Chain A
């Protein structure tokens, strides 16, 4: 007798599915999830968790939080990050101390895996929401993340 109950269940579940899509159809004009991208460039906001490119935030005193520990460079699976560093004299203590010269990020090599950001102990690098990365020359995809003349924020290393 499962023959007839199969037919009944079949029709019931099919109608159930159709009612779900039917509701979508009726409300689609209001709840469309499509973004009309080039039109809404001014108002478009990307989501918090979107991975655009890696940036290093600087505060108003041109200070960043990167200590040059190179954990991000080691964590990167395909060598997108290169850190050029040197030892310099610290003004307050007068001791020699590791300082970054350039934090180089190759956007063209990056797979947006996020391992560098996971690895960073001081949250010096974060994801930005920028996604319009098209350029005519790929040398423009090599970016220096620390701004010229910037230094480490006090108290980060301690």
Chain B
């Protein structure tokens, strides 16, 4: 099934299909064969694509819910509390119940809001974050869309989300929402530079933007090991900028619940609010997943201990991603939030110059063959 999509897209963007090699899980292969047997090949590929989209949507909607639960539990543990433990065993159904409640709520809005943009904004945010999920290599075979400009695609897609936030803030016809959206614009656009440059530092080692190729390079050592000092600096900058990109504390100037109501989503209620919320958590997963892919070898196991069992890649990928997600939660529940001028000072006076110097160092290291490889 995934192979079909890859073949389809590789024909659209005219890639040699030999780049990908045989990529298909056994289960999906049977479904794909069955689809081809009951309908013409064109229809089968479209059905397969829709199926992949639905599967991804389902998995990540539920994953988002459980990330919310994880956040609440981790927050509780950091603050010496217990956290949700009432609904279901160990509180595992808490966020499901929350979602049900949100679905049943009335969708309110302001009278003079720009209705079209107002309703469009949450979908902008959630779709842009779900689209980014397509390119991640969860295992060698389990990748919906292996595009040759993977990293660029991720940076581009993740910057669309801010348009949703700006639209939401603008169309709400509410000053709090507007100020929140403006702050988000300042923040997200500033920190996008750092994200891009820190990923660019790592692209210098791999020499490729394609995610599967980046993973291939890491078979001789994860990039954070290969690039040693500049890679570690790049990773630190990436995590700081990534936290800011997802509008999480200590960079939550956007929501600013103490001085701005709820920031850009002040006027949203029920499920529309939940979309923003879900998008924030999926974005957090995406930021961690990009870091996993670029710095920590995606589905590769440490020292190749499970190389003979390829499907364990999902386990390694998720483990590494969740560790990084935990790191971001750790940031959130430790650090005090930044003022807007401190936020911009951090980006423009510290992260950006360090990043530019770091790229030069990395270029020198790659040029002089000083990378560490096993």
Q: Contact residues of A with B, CB < 8 Å?
A: 7, 14, 17-18, 20-22, 24-25, 27-29, 31-34, 36
B80–A24 CB distance below 8 A: yes
B82–A24 CB distance below 8 A: no
A28–B80 CB distance below 8 A: yes
User: Of B80, B331, B334, which one neighbours A31 at CB under 8 angstroms?
Assistant: B80
User: Of A17, A22, A27, A34, which one neighbours B81 at CB under 8 angstroms?
Assistant: A34
Question: Can you name the residue of chain A whose Cβ is closest to the Cβ of B85?
Answer: A36
A14–B79 CB distance below 8 A: no
Q: For A17, what are the chain B residues with a Cβ–Cβ distance below 8 Å?
A: 334-335
- In the complex, whether B77 has a CB less than 8 A from a CB of chain A is yes
Interface of A is mostly: helix
14 more contacts with CB within 8 A, not counting A7-B354, A25-B330, are: A7-B350, A21-B330, A21-B334, A24-B77, A24-B80, A25-B74, A28-B77, A28-B81, A29-B77, A32-B80, A32-B81, A34-B76, A34-B81, A34-B82
Restricting to B321-374, which residues have a CB under 8 Å from any CB of A? Answer: 330-331, 333-335, 350, 354
Q: Number of contacting residues on B, CB 8 A?
A: 15
User: When chains A and B are docked, how far (Å) is the Cα of A21 from the Cα of B334?
Assistant: 6
Mark each residue of chain B from 69 to 112: 1 if its CB lies under 8 Å from any CB of chain A, else 0: 00000101111111000000000000000000000000000000
Contacts A34-B82, A36-B82 given; does A25 touch B335 at CB 8 Å: no
User: When chains A and B are docked, how far (Å) is the Cα of A104 from the Cα of B78?
Assistant: 46
A28–B330 CB distance below 8 A: no
User: When chains A and B are docked, how far (Å) is the Cα of A27 from the Cα of B80?
Assistant: 8
Q: For B335, what are the chain A residues with a Cβ–Cβ distance below 8 Å?
A: 14, 17
Q: For B80, what are the chain A residues with a Cβ–Cβ distance below 8 Å?
A: 24, 27-28, 31-34
User: Of B78, B350, B354, which one neighbours A24 at CB under 8 angstroms?
Assistant: B78
A33–B330 CB distance below 8 A: no
Q: For A33, what are the chain B residues with a Cβ–Cβ distance below 8 Å?
A: 80-81
Contacts A25-B78, A28-B80, A32-B82 given; does A18 touch B334 at CB 8 Å: yes
- Most A CB within 10 A of own CB, among B80, B81, B82, B354: B80
Q: For B76, what are the chain A residues with a Cβ–Cβ distance below 8 Å?
A: 28, 34
